[in-house]
Amino acid sequence: MDEEELEEICTAVLQAIEVHSSSDIRSLLERLHPADIANLLESITPDQRQRLWPELPLELMGEVLIEVPEGVQKSLMETLSPQLLARAILSLDIDEIADLFPDLPDDITARVLFDLDQETRQDLDAVLAWPEDTAGGLMNVDTVTIRANVKLAVVQRYLRLLGELPEYTDQLFVVDPHNRLKGALSLPAILTSDGSDQVADIMETEPVSFTTLVEDEKVATAFERYNLISAAVVDENNILLGRITIDDAVDVIRDEAEHTMMVQAGLDEEDDIFAPVVRTSCKRALWLGVNLVTALLASTVIRSFEATIEQVVALAALMTIIASMGGNAGTQTLTIVIRGMGTGTITSLNAWQVMKKEILVGAFNGLVWALVVAVVTALWYHDIYLGMVIAAAMAINLLFAAAAGVVLPLLVKQLGIDPALASGVALTTVTDIVGFFSVLGLAYVFLI
């Protein structure tokens, strides 16, 4: 389904909601993927949600719940009776149930556990035993395993006997009698190799695998780097516990991208865009307060040079240029570094080399734009000395901005703080203070 057709269906759903046509709503929803329904629910008002949500078939409700943000998810779950909510959740795969479990009320989790058969409950416990942001928390236990000493013809008969493979199965895992991972056999190899060949002769002996406590971001990076569809999860003794599939890795990549973008603005990526005004305001107030403090720090520098500004009024207009250029240059470096830290290309091992390179870039840009701003200032104000002061301040601030763009995210990460959250505010503070102090301090020394 293309974007235009999807938009037409969503528009028709909204029109059906307005005229309270349940039959039209249901027929239109049948044409939508659960992820598209989730996106539609997120984008409409709470009143419209309350009219649309009950029209979903029960088997779709669980699929939609795992796709919507936490804020929307909570409001939707509150409209269902405990019995219906439990039934909707029971329709999901084990790893999806595990994703929802931390957000469920205790009575619902108890009901779900009670309704699960013993084997499924054990599988769920195996996933819930690990933090949700690790490979163990991402894994599903629906693995297909074979032995190394059997022939491909036996494997082919076994697959026909199974009849259906778990979703995103691109390889079978080869294990020994103790369930230790020994290799992997791809489906193309099974289909194209001779039936008389032994698994041990054609299997991959060193497949990509993850131990249970590997961070989910590292898992997602490996999936992206090695173009994986699935990968095994093992314990410290290399015993196969489950597997991670590409859909879970994509979710991690998407969530991390959203998290980085939202926290840089001090926002909650799981919040409902139609959440109550007071609640939204309270969540944003802290971030605005932090920004106010940083602005006051920069204002303190300006206040210290009031007499200088009174004597050289042009500084009031020019100093904002210095601060703005420093902020932009620093943000460029900061973005590169945070991205590199996320992908693993920038670590403590190469941080110094990265910093040297960025400082050289800052110095080069500082000299180029210092010359430009010097000429512009001299032409505007007919004062070559003022132009030289502004040029020097520009060079200094761009140099500091480059260094701060590398140092700050590495420093805040060492302190256990998310670099995407804290680095931007700290960088703005540094470039503003250094920029204002440079231009006003140099003006005080050379122009007064």
The per-residue pLDDT for range 375-394, each reduced to its tens digit, is: 999 999 999 999 999 999 99
Distance CA 222, CA 135 (A): 12
State pLDDT tens for residues 254-268: 888 877 777 766 666
β-sheet bridge partners, residue 173: 145, 184
CA dihedral sign of residues 352, 354, 360, 362: negative
Report the distance separating Cα 426 and Cα 146, nearest Å.
Answer: 54
- Residue 365 pLDDT exceeds 80: yes
pLDDT at 280 over 80: no
Which pTM does this prediction carry? 0.77
Q: Are 100 and 132 in contact (CB under 8 A)?
A: no
d(CA 51, CA 36): 17
* Closest residue by Cα to residue 244 from 302, 169, 162: 169
Encode pLDDT of 100-137 as tens digits.
888 788 888 888 888 888 888 888 888 888 998 999 99
In this predicted structure, the answer to whether residue 183 has a pLDDT above a threshold of 90 is: yes
Q: Which two tokens stand for residue 137?
A: 């928390």
Residue 87 pLDDT > 80: yes
pLDDT at 269: 58
For residue 239, the cross-strand partners are 180
Domains, the chain: 3-131 (1.25.60.10), 145-262 (3.10.580.10), 277-446 (1.10.357.20)
Q: Across the chain, what does the average pLDDT equal?
A: 89
